Amino acid sequence: MPEHIHPSELERTLTDVAKVPEPDAEFMNSLRARFVAEGHASAIKNQETHMKRKTFSQRLTWALAVLILVTLVVLATQPTVVNALKRLFGYVPNVGVIDQSSQVRMLTEPLTVTRKNFTVTIEQAVLTHEKTVIIYSYSTPPDFSPNPEPMDMRAPFITLPDGTQLKINQGYRLAVQDCSTCAMRYSMEFGTIPANINTASLQLPSLIGTPAGSAPQDWTIKLTFKPADPSAIAPVTEYEVTPVPTETVSATTTEPAVGTPTQAINTYGVTQGLDKVAQLPDGYILYGHVAWTDRSIRPYGVSTNLLSIKDANGVDVPFDYAQTESNAKPEDMRLDWAFKIGKDFVAPLKLDFYMEASIDVNGGSFTFDPGPDPQPGQKRNINQDVLVGNKIVHVLSVERADTQPGFFFQFTLQSDSNIIDAFIIDPNFPPAGGGGGAVSMPQVGDPFISGYGYEKSLPQGSITMKFFSIGVLVPGDWTLSWSP
């Protein structure tokens, strides 16, 4: 009589058989440090390369700005001149803000090429003195079923009539909601095509996102350019930045000082402003930024959340996120934002933001005893006040979460100061998970959760946790006002 094996028993045995030894901790920690360091360095290098490409154009922009200033002084009473100068920047859908201080060229017309029922459409090309942007989409046959082969990662490039090749500088996927047949829409940015060259060949070794061999390869598509139709470029108005708030203000009851009753509120040097507005046929895109001067804020450590836009009648104006104009470097201590709105409102608009910053803190610790065998769901009160920076955090309780494997603790914290989130660690054990768990828009005084996990076993005895970073609500009036 054969012995029947329960499927779950077989799976358990299979799991045992397929198991391999855990990696050496020293190797893992070493590779972790290398990955983080090299990833960070690579990102900075990429951003610097991007910025260098902009240097020339920035110089040109500054030269033009001086020229414009002189012209404005001479022709200050001629409003038509001022209006014309506002058109230095323009906006092209799917491309974003472009500098049109020199002639902008575009594709003479969209192009479509079909091979084996795969159809590639070159939807747009925008050529400025800074860059060449090409947008293409493709559709696949109805029965297209990609095989599991690796993706074809060969990069697209442009070949000019004299044989010069322009490599792709960056590319990203675009939305396809407005194209029911599109399997993919992709934007590619290349270097500048000289002003006297109006033809080029786009080389697509593969269709982006298709596995090798699953779709026709090595597409060559000839492109022809012409001066852009002005109606294809939306006007952009540039604004002088008026940061708010600009001053450190006096303490209020929402910011209890520790030891110094007259301590000022720290706004961390955070400012923000509206930079540009693109005027589209169906609405506007508002471009702005947030910047800070306090170096204790982590790189990209300020989150500016747009809570609402209200018009002059107090009516909510719907908004959507838009592609920002640029990407700041970590050392820039700034972040850009962009929001798209419609045209159905009564000016002026008020944009209300919620500003949160992530701050590195050196220390602040507490000790708790998890007990000999803490069970999932088991909660223990801690009730300790910890000085973090110069503010008090109340560590209320700890609960073992019901997760497997390992041990994961959730700490409930609260502060009467502007601390609304925290990342705490056990410095003696690398984290198997953790991080803050505050609700989306916490207010001062709200309890918040911070977690920490041990992958295998618990340390013996009491555990000391240290504050690694905190999230703070940046005080101030984060409202911007704008009229078209």
Partner 1 sequence: MENENPRHAGVDVQTVQHALAGDQSALAQIYDAYARSIYRYHLSRVESVPDAEDLTSQTFMAVIEALPRYQHRNNFTAWIFQIARNKAMDHFRKTHSHSEINESMADPSQSEALEAVVRSESRARLKSLLHLLDEDERELIRLRYTAELSFVEIAQLLGRKEDAVRKSIRRILDRLSIQMEAHHA
Interface contacts to partner 1, rule CB under 8 A: 1-5, 7, 10-11, 13-24, 27-28, 31-32, 34-36, 38-44, 46-47, 146-148, 150-151, 153, 170-173, 208-209, 211, 298-300, 327, 329-330, 403, 431-433, 435
Q: Is the peptide bond before 161 cis (omega within 30 degrees of 0)?
A: no
Compute the least distance from the CB of residue 266 to partner 1, in Å: 22
Token pair, residue 120, equals 């590639």
Compute the least distance from the CB of residue 209 to partner 1, in Å: 7
- CB of 100 or CB of 469, closer to partner 1: 469
Give the whole-angstrom CA distance, residue 342 versus residue 317.
8
Compute the least distance from the CB of residue 87 to partner 1, in Å: 32
Dihedral angle, C-alpha 362, 366, 370, 371, nearest 10 °? 140
- CB of 35 or CB of 56, closer to partner 1: 35
* Edge-first strand listing for the sheet containing 434-436: 379-388, 391-400, 407-414, 448-454, 434-436
Compute the least distance from the CB of residue 8 to partner 1, in Å: 10
* Of the candidates 131, 251, 240, the residue with the CA atom closest to the CA atom of residue 193: 131
Compute the least distance from the CB of residue 417 to partner 1, in Å: 23
- CB of 230 or CB of 330, closer to partner 1: 330
Rounded to the nearest 5 percent, the helix, strand and coil shares of the chain are 15, 40, 45
Half-sphere exposure of 184 (CA within 13 A, CB side): 17
- CB of 156 or CB of 283, closer to partner 1: 156
- CB of 314 or CB of 377, closer to partner 1: 377
* Of the candidates 354, 357, 282, 278, the residue with the CA atom closest to the CA atom of residue 323: 278
Give the whole-angstrom CA distance, residue 392 versus residue 208.
52
- CB of 40 or CB of 86, closer to partner 1: 40
Compute the least distance from the CB of residue 146 to partner 1, in Å: 5
